[in-house]
Structure 1
């Protein structure tokens, strides 16, 4: 390379570095310089309201099907320390139909949380990117900014379709970010991602038999996950009764009339009415967080939209879709922020004029869902046999996928207990309880709702760090 080319190259690198809101040291090795050039188009340089930070973040689209014009939106945050050495973690939210950007990145574990007026962002000191490089994916198409130009694609939405597109996304994303290709890779998520995460992990595991497709999968981390439909339903009903949400009579009716293992569950009228009564009572509080207040007043969501939506399908044991999360107001703030023209332009979603309509959850995705596995337990067994790390955690004040559901599911695996049930500690206080099985670790978070990091940000970060290291959280004060 002659002197003129060298000067041009260095000026290009300097320009990219200066565009970041707080300058960081320019990496010295060639592979990092080369990566800057490959990633430059997706570098986020002027996100409205963003606090000053010392790490880079990127967002944009990855095409997963050229013919149909199918593209998934991602947002990637480098680790705030030693990004070249830290592992890569993919975070998924569920629904199906809800945004990992709107929930995971914006309300839970990302470095930027949308402020209460939807006008700005505030820094999250408990962001998980302090421990790893974080990748958020809006999946499948129809979720958030992700889309397809072929309408028939939406007729195929389901578990397998989502896993295949997410797998394709990863390989295409690694072409943009080749330095992460061989990193230890983990998949994490919550709620209906209890299906997404194991299914994607299984696909990666199976495809890894081809060395050219190898992804260095280390394990999965699941929070309040939907796992086995029948056991999840039983846990939901028993939890509501044991926490005084419904009467003894309603609980007895459901226990006597509902067979959650049967495809004819909802054909029994007594069963239907009993379950409807459970959700009628949950409409009075927040099913995701039993002991906190609901949002009242300034929310733009009307009272009907705040209520629990129960959709019984006669041929399926599909769990009900319930709009919202811990605080419907937070959903409103995110909706306002991500529909701003300047925000969409900064995130490489639109040109700032032709805007995309962003919603935190898309009920159409749920309504079109055509393929669903009833149980993840066979996949758990497969991944355990493969030696992958599997940690599951539950906020114990969540009524949507309650701790009882997860305990019922894990119990049915019949795993040998290696470390008995006992408390784990954070900052000398009980963070929850934990039990270790052969091939799986299960923990509770004391006083946390469905989206654990919202309620217990410091504890969840410490737990995440323990997961990455493969070491149990502290068992002494």
Structure 2
């Protein structure tokens, strides 16, 4: 090798090392403090993960808790995805991170964690946020804040969180950014996307490279969601023809006054009564009936109705393994887990719950529909994909289809199956500005039911092209 060639070679090596060490050392001191290094029972992994608090309002002492997982490979080149769960009032750490899309899932054996081979950080950097304050480990030192919480409050705080988080992790500021989630996050996500879109356009804060949103079994528009909820219950033989007839005659879900009609309210109560006998989130799987080793009471809880805002759909507890909520509760209340995640000092423990009933009970600010936001985001060129597990009775596929039909979007490609591993995994239709798909045999928390299919669908979303439409 000539002297000149050797010099070029050394320069290339130095350049690569410089790039490598710049990336490795790009963590801020706060990020280094949040690095998780001793999570009990953690499987061996090559990627880094971080957890901790980000203050969003110093005056009132509001801080939000996050858990972030770098992509398994090339994190500097892959998108950053914020995952949100709904409720409102339920934890994205307890559901999304450890029951659905994260790399460590709670196990039903001694409430340990196990590696998820279909974790979404195979395709992206995944950021899970407990939102709003009052959910999980997120908190406010000003009690009056909890009386103000609603859709707009949550969107503003979450936007503040993203801005501050990107300052803590500046290496991800130039990565494409997406928001994904499910259930009541069907409202959180478009509302947050609209705030980001508006702020980006008026240059009022740091630019966020928002590219699109992904919504699973999402609450979208109250009237259509309610109608779809009733129609689905009747079409799946949960309620009688007589109950369906009572609701059809007496309920007008487009108005708040429908709840003043006793016949309507009695009919809806009958639907809830029947759903209480099974798992509304997963029609064809068992419910948790208290025979687990943890003596779970999850499956025995009554449904909750928001009396302050009756138009909000009721919340019931459940899931594919309906006892998972109890496993999460035990895991996140362990002293060694809280200390490892920087949620507490391991001595003065936080009382973590997967859902905060008080948040749901006092939620006054709920937009009747986010369809106008859909239209705005579509016009702005953002990617919008919606998917529905087709055995979910809580936010069923019928309601979501009714909502999408209200948009009256031109059809780009007709209704057809999509495939994963040569099997039909659901059906898909592309509209101008929106893609809708079903996930066959999945309940409310789709990645819990169909992990492999969900990862394939998520990857397709990030690529901006539909999943395989042939075997």
Q: Same fold (TM over 0.5)?
A: yes
| Superposition deviation, residue 249 in structure 1 | 0.4
Corresponding residue number in structure 2 for 1:452: 446
Corresponding residue number in structure 2 for 1:332: 326
Q: Distance in 2 between matches of 1:289 and 1:439?
A: 30
- Judging changes above 3 Å, is the alpha-carbon distance between structure 1 residues 117 and 66 closer, same or farther for their aligned structure 2 residues? same
Mapped pair 1:163 → 2:160: no
- Residue from 177, 191, 216 that aligns with 1:185: 177
SS at match of 1:434: strand
Correspondences of 1:198-347 after superposition (within 5 Å): 198-211=190-203, 212-296=205-289, 297-298=291-292, 300=294, 306-311=300-305, 313=307, 316-347=310-341
Mapped pair 1:358 → 2:352: yes
Q: Distance in 2 between matches of 1:283 and 1:299?
A: 22
SS at match of 1:391: strand
| Superposition deviation, residue 180 in structure 1 | 0.8
Asked if 2 retains the 8 angstrom alpha-carbon contact of 1:191 and 1:224, the reply is yes
Q: Distance in 2 between matches of 1:377 and 1:65?
A: 30
SS at match of 1:165: helix
| Superposition deviation, residue 191 in structure 1 | 0.2
Asked if 2 retains the 8 angstrom alpha-carbon contact of 1:118 and 1:334, the reply is no
Mapped pair 1:64 → 2:40: no
Deviations 1:297-348 (A, max 9, x none): 0265665863441426376411112223333310000000000000000000
Mapped pair 1:134 → 2:126: yes
Q: Distance in 1 between matches of 2:297 and 2:199?
A: 46
Bigger drift between 227-236 and 291-300 goes to 291-300
Mapped pair 1:390 → 2:392: no
- Judging changes above 3 Å, is the alpha-carbon distance between structure 1 residues 141 and 441 closer, same or farther for their aligned structure 2 residues? same
SS at match of 2:417: strand
| Superposition deviation, residue 162 in structure 1 | 0.3
SS at match of 1:366: helix
Asked if 2 retains the 8 angstrom alpha-carbon contact of 1:299 and 1:329, the reply is no
| Superposition deviation, residue 367 in structure 1 | 1.1
5+ long unaligned stretches in structure 2: 1-16
Corresponding residue number in structure 1 for 2:418: 424
Structure 2-normalised TM-score?
Answer: 0.94
SS at match of 2:118: coil
Mapped pair 1:105 → 2:97: yes
Q: Distance in 2 between matches of 1:325 and 1:420?
A: 32
Deviations 1:266-305 (A, max 9, x none): 1110001100111111111100000111123026566586
| Superposition deviation, residue 36 in structure 1 | 5.9
Bigger drift between 200-209 and 115-124 goes to 115-124
Structure 1-normalised TM-score?
Answer: 0.92
Asked if 2 retains the 8 angstrom alpha-carbon contact of 1:265 and 1:314, the reply is no
Bigger drift between 204-213 and 80-89 goes to 204-213
Asked if 1 retains the 8 angstrom alpha-carbon contact of 2:306 and 2:362, the reply is no
Deviations 1:161-216 (A, max 9, x none): 00000000000001100011121000000000000000000000000024442100
Asked if 2 retains the 8 angstrom alpha-carbon contact of 1:71 and 1:141, the reply is yes
- Judging changes above 3 Å, is the alpha-carbon distance between structure 1 residues 304 and 422 closer, same or farther for their aligned structure 2 residues? closer
Q: Distance in 1 between matches of 2:298 and 2:390?
A: 27
SS at match of 1:28: helix
Corresponding residue number in structure 2 for 1:441: 435
Between Structure 1 and Structure 2, how many residues are aligned?
453
SS at match of 2:156: helix
| Superposition deviation, residue 38 in structure 1 | 4.8
- Residue from 111, 114, 124 that aligns with 2:116: 124
Mapped pair 1:148 → 2:144: no
Asked if 2 retains the 8 angstrom alpha-carbon contact of 1:100 and 1:138, the reply is yes
Q: Distance in 2 between matches of 1:310 and 1:74?
A: 27
Q: Distance in 2 between matches of 1:110 and 1:436?
A: 28
SS at match of 2:424: strand
Asked if 2 retains the 8 angstrom alpha-carbon contact of 1:264 and 1:314, the reply is no
Q: Distance in 2 between matches of 1:303 and 1:63?
A: 34
Deviations 1:108-150 (A, max 9, x none): 0000001113442100000000000000000001100000011
5+ long unaligned stretches in structure 1: 1-24
- Judging changes above 3 Å, is the alpha-carbon distance between structure 1 residues 93 and 326 closer, same or farther for their aligned structure 2 residues? same
Asked if 1 retains the 8 angstrom alpha-carbon contact of 2:308 and 2:362, the reply is no
SS at match of 2:468: coil
